[in-house]
Structure 1
Amino acid sequence: MPSAVVPKALEPGATIAFISPSARLNALCRAYMSRATAVLEGQGYNVREFFNEDAGIQSSISNRLSELRAAFSDPSISAIICTIGGPSFTELLPALIADTELHSAIRANPKIVVGYSDITGLHWFLHALTGLRTFYGPGAIPELGEPNSVDDEAAPLSFCVRNLFRAIATSREPIGELARSATYAPKLAAVFETSPDLVRSPELASTPGWIWIRSGKGQGRLFGGCLTVMARLAGIRGIVPDWRGRIVFFETAIGEDEVSGNPIYRVQAGIADLIAQGVFDDAAGLVVGRPFGYDSKEMREEYIGVIKGLLCEGPLAEKKFPILFNVDIGHTTPMLTLPFDTLAELDSERDRFAILEPAVL
Structure 2
Amino acid sequence: MTALSVPVVPPALRRGDTIAFVAPSARINHIFPLRIARARAFLESQGFLVREIYTILPTFSFRANLNTRVEELHEAFRDDAVRAIVCCIGGLTANEILPHLDYQLIREHPKIFIGSSDITLLHHALLVGAGLRTFYGLGAIVQLGEYPMPLDFTWNHFLRVLCVEPDKDFAPSPEDWLMPRSLYYTDEFLDWCGEPDNLRARKTKPSPGWKWLRPGRAQGRIFGGCLPSILQLFGTSWQVSYKGRILLVELPEGMQPDTPWPLELVRCNLADLGTRGVWDDITGLILGRPYRHTEEQLVEWEKLVLDITEDYNFPILAGVDVGHTDPMLTVSLDALCLLDSEKDEWAILERGVKY
Q: TM bucket by the smaller chain?
A: over 0.9
Which amino acid counterpart does residue 182 of structure 1 have in structure 2? L
Residue 197 of structure 1 and its aligned partner are, at CA, apart by 7.1
Deviations along 1:204-229, one digit per CA (max 9) or x if unpaired, are 11121101110000011010010011
**Is this contact kept in 2: 1:142–1:189, CA < 8 A?**
no
**Is this contact kept in 2: 1:22–1:87, CA < 8 A?**
yes
In the alignment, is residue 165 of structure 1 matched against residue 170 of structure 2?
no
Runs of 4+ in 1 over 6 A off after TM superposition: none
Deviations along 1:55-107, one digit per CA (max 9) or x if unpaired, are 322221111011011111111111100000001111112212xxxxx322222
In the alignment, is residue 360 of structure 1 matched against residue 349 of structure 2?
no
Residue 196 of structure 1 and its aligned partner are, at CA, apart by 5.9
In the alignment, is residue 113 of structure 1 matched against residue 137 of structure 2?
no
**Is this contact kept in 1: 2:190–2:198, CA < 8 A?**
no
Deviations along 1:191-250, one digit per CA (max 9) or x if unpaired, are 223x467521001111211011100000110100100111112132x2111211101001
Residue 149 of structure 1 and its aligned partner are, at CA, apart by 4.0
2:13 aligned counterpart, secondary structure: coil
Residue 269 of structure 1 and its aligned partner are, at CA, apart by 1.0
User: What's the counterpart of residue 84 of structure 1?
Assistant: 89
Further displaced range: 46-55 or 183-192: 183-192
Inter-partner Cα distance in structure 1 for 2:344 and 2:117: 27
Question: Would the alpha carbon gap of residues 197 and 110 (structure 1) be closer, same or farther in structure 2, given more than 3 Å must change?
Answer: closer
2:222 aligned counterpart, secondary structure: strand
**Is this contact kept in 2: 1:245–1:282, CA < 8 A?**
yes
Inter-partner Cα distance in structure 2 for 1:77 and 1:328: 28
In the alignment, is residue 43 of structure 1 matched against residue 46 of structure 2?
yes
Picking from 300, 303, 306, the partner of 1:305 is: 303
Aligned length: 342
Which amino acid counterpart does residue 276 of structure 1 have in structure 2? T
Inter-partner Cα distance in structure 2 for 1:108 and 1:344: 27
Inter-partner Cα distance in structure 1 for 2:275 and 2:225: 17
Residue 282 of structure 1 and its aligned partner are, at CA, apart by 2.5
User: What's the counterpart of residue 212 of structure 1?
Assistant: 212
User: What's the counterpart of residue 331 of structure 2?
Assistant: 338
List alignment gaps of at least 5 residues for structure 1. Answer: 97-101, 151-156
2:114 aligned counterpart, secondary structure: strand
2:235 aligned counterpart, secondary structure: coil
List alignment gaps of at least 5 residues for structure 2. Answer: none
Residue 260 of structure 1 and its aligned partner are, at CA, apart by 2.1
Residue 166 of structure 1 and its aligned partner are, at CA, apart by 1.1
User: What's the counterpart of residue 26 of structure 1?
Assistant: 29
Write the mapping of 1:13-162 to structure 2, written as runs, cut at 5 A: 13-54=16-57, 55-56=59-60, 57-96=62-101, 102-149=102-149, 157-162=151-156
Which amino acid counterpart does residue 301 of structure 1 have in structure 2? V
Q: Among the aligned pairs, what percent are the same residue?
A: 41
Write the mapping of 1:182-193 to structure 2, written as runs, cut at 5 A: 182-193=183-194
Question: Would the alpha carbon gap of residues 189 and 163 (structure 1) be closer, same or farther in structure 2, given more than 3 Å must change?
Answer: farther
Deviations along 1:138-173, one digit per CA (max 9) or x if unpaired, are 0012211100345xxxxxx21111111111114853
Inter-partner Cα distance in structure 2 for 1:84 and 1:19: 9
Question: Would the alpha carbon gap of residues 257 and 109 (structure 1) be closer, same or farther in structure 2, given more than 3 Å must change?
Answer: closer
TM-score when normalising by structure 1: 0.91
User: What's the counterpart of residue 249 of structure 2?
Assistant: 250
Question: Would the alpha carbon gap of residues 117 and 198 (structure 1) be closer, same or farther in structure 2, given more than 3 Å must change?
Answer: closer
Which amino acid counterpart does residue 353 of structure 2 have in structure 1? V
User: What's the counterpart of residue 234 of structure 1?
Assistant: 234
Inter-partner Cα distance in structure 2 for 1:128 and 1:286: 21
User: What's the counterpart of residue 7 of structure 1?
Assistant: 10
